[in-house]
Amino acid sequence: MLNYKIELRHRKIVVKDNLPIDLPPLIKRLYLNRGLCDAEKLERSANKLLSFKTLHNIDKAVTIIYNMLINKRKIIVVGDFDADGATSTALTVLALKSMGGKNIQYLIPNRFEDGYGLSTKIVKHLHMIGAEMILTVDNGISSHEGISCAKKYGIPVIITDHHLPSNDLPEAEAIINPNISNMSFALSSLAGVGVAFYLMVALRTYLREKGWFNKICIEPNLANLLDLVALGTIVDVVPLDINNRILVWQGLNRIRAGICRPGIIALLEIANRQLKDLSTDDLSYVLGPRLNAAGRLNDMSKGVALLLTHDLNHARILANELDRLNQSRKKIEQVMHNEALKLCNILQQKENNLPLGITVYHPEWHQGVIGIVASRLKERFHRPVIAFAPTGIGDGILKGSGRSIENLHLRNILEHLNTVKPNLIIKFGGHAMAAGLSIKEIHYKEFSQYFSNLVKELFKNDIISDIIWSDGSLQPSEFSIQTADLLREAGPWGVSFPQPTFDGEFELVKQRLINKRHLHVLVKVFDNGPLVDGVLFNVDTNHWPNTKISKVGLLYRLDVKIYRGKRFVQLIIEYLWPLD
């Protein structure tokens, strides 16, 4: 019988440190909890960024691009249909044009018509419209057939990507990917937009050495593009190592100051977010979903157009369109989520328990939303989940999107499965925590069984432990705007440098559902503490609200909510459990 348990642990503090003595005690505690114990690692200025020179092939790539620019060749940037791909594309197009590029275009494959990456179909189209060089951003490392096709047409290809490669690399003229074994390990956490930014910085340096900016154009300040780097890095959920923290911090502060793309301002306006109060959460949960909605339901070219426009009024029109798409996405997602829960109930009844590796499929699902469904099921059932949907073109192919849990590397699982059963998966790719794949519909049941069995083998016992980490408790006096602002300024926070989370016991004063699935509470801090507002998103409505409960334990983050122009403390609750 499978057992599932939640274990609350407190992060261990590094005893010895070299942090500034004037650092606030709470912030010092948080940094030490994350192993940050050297003052130099607190530095967030751009001049502390790692050099592009550690990236293999970057000299070759900039030489090729230089020759294309000097001969005014048509360079087409090919991106991906997610937020990282959109920001990568916009950044690269803006950078190349700012450095004198006269014939720069872009193309984003349509999720539904073209599929992922630089396919042969895309290459044939690029050949037809006169592409003289292809520059991929946030994709390309698995596009063997497309790059072979480009080679036949005599079109040089430069790949910039961060996704994990297979054993064989495509035959591109240059590949910039810090996750290839002979690349720079120090930069392996870069998102696709980070890799693109580094290539543009390297190109600017090369052009400067060639005297380009004395003859062709004024040298651009590429720091103006760090807002895009911050957005793509956070939304793509890559680790926030020291280098990525600098990139995100610099971009975040530019957005707060209003020195950013009009498209970002327009998206924040439509979400009623204040620039000066912006946090990485806003990038993740406000900007990210709206930008991604274009690629999920329609065409990510709309998202790129939003990021490229220099006109705020035009940006507002596009932002409204993306917001409408996001509202539609939410409705589709809720229907699919409810159907997925029913499928999980059927699985549980058949086997007396849910499989350790869950697969769900419905013939009417929308392939642009299956990743969100997989993510929500993973959060609810705490095990790897792959959700499938048909391609929608009647070819008998299913698209799958998977999400995994800590210590279960999803891409490696798929790679192993592909080795054991080589004809089961048509293609796959991704990371440790997220992956995509295609299979034939007739193979769905067989794939599901193999996937479930393989995940089960990776568990040493039948216990799934969901470890939740806390930075300890807050004093009653620390439930304040001042503390929340202090936490915000101590960031940026994200993967591998997680948001501060605290735990404690509270009196539950009020509770109610909002939007049918989020629990809004009013709690009182014990020991004569204040009344505090709180919200738990996507609550299990089978258990909450519960008027029989008057005392609760919470794992929460301290945030600031703005309502009618006033700022007040709000708890973003991650876990809630009864104490009565």
pLDDT at 1: 40
563 in any annotated domain: yes
Q: Which amino acid is at 187?
A: L
For residue 64, how many C-alpha atoms fall within 13 Å in the half-sphere facing its CB? 22
Domain's final residue, options 466, 495, 514: 466
Average pLDDT over residues 169-181: 92
Dihedral (C-alpha) 404, 86, 191, 34: value to the nearest 10 degrees?
-70
Pull the structure tokens for residue 361. 């499929």
Distance CA 6, CA 569 (A): 27
506 within a domain of the structure (yes/no): yes
Indicate whether 170 and 317 sit together in one domain. Answer: yes
Q: How many domains does the chain have?
A: 3
Give the 3-state secondary structure of residue 250: helix
CA distances to 286, 507, 544 from 269, in Å: 11, 36, 33
Task: Residue 367: name the closest of 284, 286, 438, 451 by CA.
Answer: 438
CATH of the domain at 399: 3.10.310.30
- Residues 483-497 have pLDDT tens digits of 999 999 999 999 889
Q: What is the mean pLDDT of residues 221-235?
A: 97
Q: Is 436 domain-assigned? A: yes
**Domain endpoint, select from 450, 466, 482:** 466
Same domain, 382 and 434: yes
pLDDT at 350: 82
Q: Both 119 and 245 in a single domain? A: yes
Residue 387 has φ and ψ, to the nearest 5°, of -105, 135
Is 31 a domain residue? Answer: no
Residue 39 lies in a domain: no
Q: Tell me which residue range forms the domain holding 251.
A: 54-324
Residue partners of 228: CB distance under 8 A and separation at least 6: 87, 90, 91, 193, 251, 261, 307
Asked if residue 186 and residue 280 are part of one domain, the reply reads yes
Q: Is the pLDDT of residue 528 over 90?
A: no
Q: Mean pLDDT, to the nearest integer, of 359-382?
A: 94
- Map residue 185 onto helix, strand or coil: helix
Extract the tokens encoding 136: 């991929």
Are residues 401 and 316 part of one domain?
Answer: no
CATH number of the domain enclosing 509? 2.40.50.460
Which pLDDT belongs to residue 183? 64
What is the pLDDT, as a whole number, of residue 237? 87
Contact present, 390 and 363 (Cβ < 8 Å):
yes
Give residue-wise pLDDT tens across range 449-469: 999 999 988 876 555 667 889
Two tokens, residue 498: 């997680």
Q: For residue 274, which of 488, 513, 482 has the smallest C-alpha distance?
A: 488
Q: How many CB atoms lie within 10 A of CB 237?
A: 16
Mean pLDDT estimate for the chain: 92
The confidence score (pLDDT) of residue 459 equals 75
Residue at 46: amino acid letter: A
The Cα 353–Cα 563 span in angstroms is 44
- Residue 376 resides in a domain: yes
536 and 431 co-located in one domain: no
Query: Per residue, what are the HEC states of 314-363?
Result: HHHHHHHHHHHHHHHHHHHHHHHHHHHHHHHHHHHHHHCCCCCCEEEECC
Q: Are residues 306 and 378 in the same domain?
A: no
Q: At what angle do helices 83-98 and 288-297 cross, to 10 degrees?
A: 100
| Tokens (6 digits) for 491 | 């960031």
**pLDDT tens digits for 284-298?**
999 999 999 999 998
**Residue 66 placed within a domain:** yes
- Provide the pLDDT confidence category of residue 117 given band limits of 50, 70 and 90: confident
What is each CA distance from 285 to 58, 244, 273, 540, in whole angstroms? 34, 19, 12, 20
**Residues 336-360, mean pLDDT to the nearest whole number:** 90
Average pLDDT over residues 114-125: 91
**Three-point CA angle 195, 199, 202, nearest 5°:** 140
Query: Cα(392)–Cα(414) distance, rounded to whole angstroms?
Result: 24
* Same domain? 315 vs 418: no
10 Å CB burial of residue 516 (0-12, 13-18, 19+) is exposed
Residue closest to 355 by CA, chosen among 449, 458, 466:
449
- Amino acid code (one letter) for 76: I
How confident is the model at residue 460, as a pLDDT?
A: 62
Work out the burial of residue 353: count CB atoms within 10 Å of its CB; fewer than 13 is exposed, 13-18 middle, 19 or more buried: middle
Dihedral of alpha carbons 130, 136, 140, 141, sign: positive
Q: Specify the pLDDT at position 116.
A: 80
Instruction: Choose the final residue of a domain: 466, 490, 509.
Output: 466
Examine the pLDDT at 145 and tell me if it is beyond 50.
yes
Task: Return the structure tokens found at 135.
Answer: 């520059």
Cis peptide before 545 (omega within 30 of 0): yes
CATH number at residue 264: 3.90.1640.30
What does the pLDDT average to over 256-265?
97
- DSSP track, 459-503: -SSSEEEEEEEE-----GGGSSHHHHHHHHHT---BTTBPPP-EE
Task: Verify that 298 and 375 share a domain, yes or no.
Answer: no
The reply to whether 21 falls in a domain is no
End-to-end CA, the chain? 28
- Residues 398 and 512 placed together within one structural domain of the fold: no
Distance CA 159, CA 145 (A): 14
* Dihedral over alpha carbons 553, 498, 192, 69 (to 10 degrees): 130
Q: Is the same domain home to 298 and 367?
A: no
Work out the average pLDDT over 166-183. 87
Q: Is the same domain home to 461 and 527?
A: no
* Banded pLDDT at 538 (limits 50, 70, 90): confident
In this structure, the chain runs to a length of 580
Comparing 253-262, 275-284, 428-437, which segment has the lowest mean pLDDT?
428-437
Above pLDDT 70, what percent of the chain?
A: 97
pTM listed for this prediction: 0.91
Lowest mean pLDDT among 10-24, 99-113, 349-363: 10-24
Q: Structure tokens of 371? A: 């990743």
Residue 5: predicted pLDDT: 65
Of 32-46, 60-74, 115-129, 486-500, highest mean pLDDT: 60-74
Return the pLDDT at 543.
87
